[in-house]
Chains A and B, each alone.
Chain A
Amino acid sequence: MSIRKPSTFSLRPILDGSEEIYTQTNGVSEKFTLGALASYITQYADTWLYKEIFIDSSEMTDIFAVPVIILDEADLGTNEYFEINRVIIESKFNTQPMISNFNCYISYKASRFTPLNSSEAYYQVPTSFLETQYDSVLCFYSPYSAGVFRKNHGVYLGIDGGNMGEGDTDYILKIYYKIVN
């Protein structure tokens, strides 16, 4: 069988990281995968994980009694914490606007049923956004005064004071974050 020239190799349709790359450095023949190369390139990059959460109108109505978990403290190792880069919230208005008589916060907390403490509030979702009567989007980076938080705490969407008024608007919350030790 004749040896094929590399330039006549067929094109690999999709890259998945398992591709082997061959090197002969200082006369030593070795190989590495494209996945290892990607890790090498991105090791110093400020990369973020991504999570998307759907919150329907009934979950939003009950949010005072049952805060919505956004980032789970159970996913953290000892002495780890969540650092948030940004949050994007979309509202999907259906038939009836939500009514927000109280303040809605994204907040760091020890667990779902830890009472909401405004000193741990990361961001207050604007009432005008919650009560919107059309589909809208809100995007924000960690604010200048994001408050303080503790290691091994989760991140929750909650409300102080009492229930949201019933409505028919769903929300999609996208969060960019990383786990830090």
Chain B
Amino acid sequence: MPQIKTNDFPVRPILDGTEEVYTQNNGVNQKFLLSSAVNYITSNIDLWDSKTVFVDELDLFNLDTTPIQILDEADLAPNEYYEVNRFVIELTHNITFTRTADFWFQFKPNVSTPFLSSYDFYQMENDLIDGSEDLITCAYTPWNHAPYPRNTGLYLHSTGIALLGNGTFKIKVYYKVSI
């Protein structure tokens, strides 16, 4: 059976990390997985995970008593914590919201922890919520956010009965788990 020259190999359609790569260093033949190479390349890069949460008016209506979980404390190992890089929030509405409370992102031990200003991390822009058009806001971690303990989750909470209206908030949070 004739040998195929390496440059005649077919192109692999999708890379998934299971590919074996061969090396010959100092005359020693070895192989490694592409996923190992990726881990090596990215090991010292400041990477952020992202998560998108959709929140509609029904979720918001009870926001003062039932906060919305953005990052789950159950996903943290002991002594780990979430570091948040930024929020990107889009509002798409059908009926303009009438806001009757302030919206805060707070680090809290769990969903049942009551609203306390000492948990405040970032206040959602009132201009965003009150707008009569579809709007976007982007905010990085503020310099004056409240301190938070390890192993706490991130929640969207309101200071009172939230609002009336009809629409959807798309909340994208960029974060990493740190220890």
Contact = CB atoms under 8 A, between A and B. Distances in A.
Interface residues of A, number: 36
Contacts of A146: 137-139
Interface string A11-29: 0000000001111110001
Contacts of B111: none
Interface of B: 4, 6-7, 9-12, 15, 17-22, 24-27, 34, 38, 41-42, 45, 47-48, 50, 85-86, 88, 122, 125, 127-128, 131, 133-140, 142-144, 174
A83 B88 CA distance: 9
A51 interface: no
Given A7-B26, A36-B15, A44-B47, A148 B38 contact: no
B12 A30 contact: yes
Contacts of A81: 136
A178 B174 CA distance: 14
Given A31-B11, A41-B41, A119-B127, A148 B4 contact: no
Contact of A150 (B12, B136, B143): B136
B128 A148 contact: yes
19 contacts: A5-B27, A22-B22, A23-B12, A30-B10, A30-B11, A30-B19, A31-B7, A31-B10, A32-B11, A32-B15, A40-B34, A46-B47, A46-B48, A46-B85, A84-B138, A144-B143, A147-B127, A148-B128, A151-B134
A6 interface: yes
A31 B26 contact: no
Given A6-B24, A37-B15, A40-B38, A144 B88 contact: no
A21 B21 contact: yes
A79 to B, nearest CB: 10
Given A22-B9, A30-B10, 11 more contacts: A6-B22, A20-B7, A29-B10, A31-B7, A31-B12, A32-B15, A40-B34, A46-B47, A144-B122, A144-B139, A149-B136
A31 B4 CA distance: 12
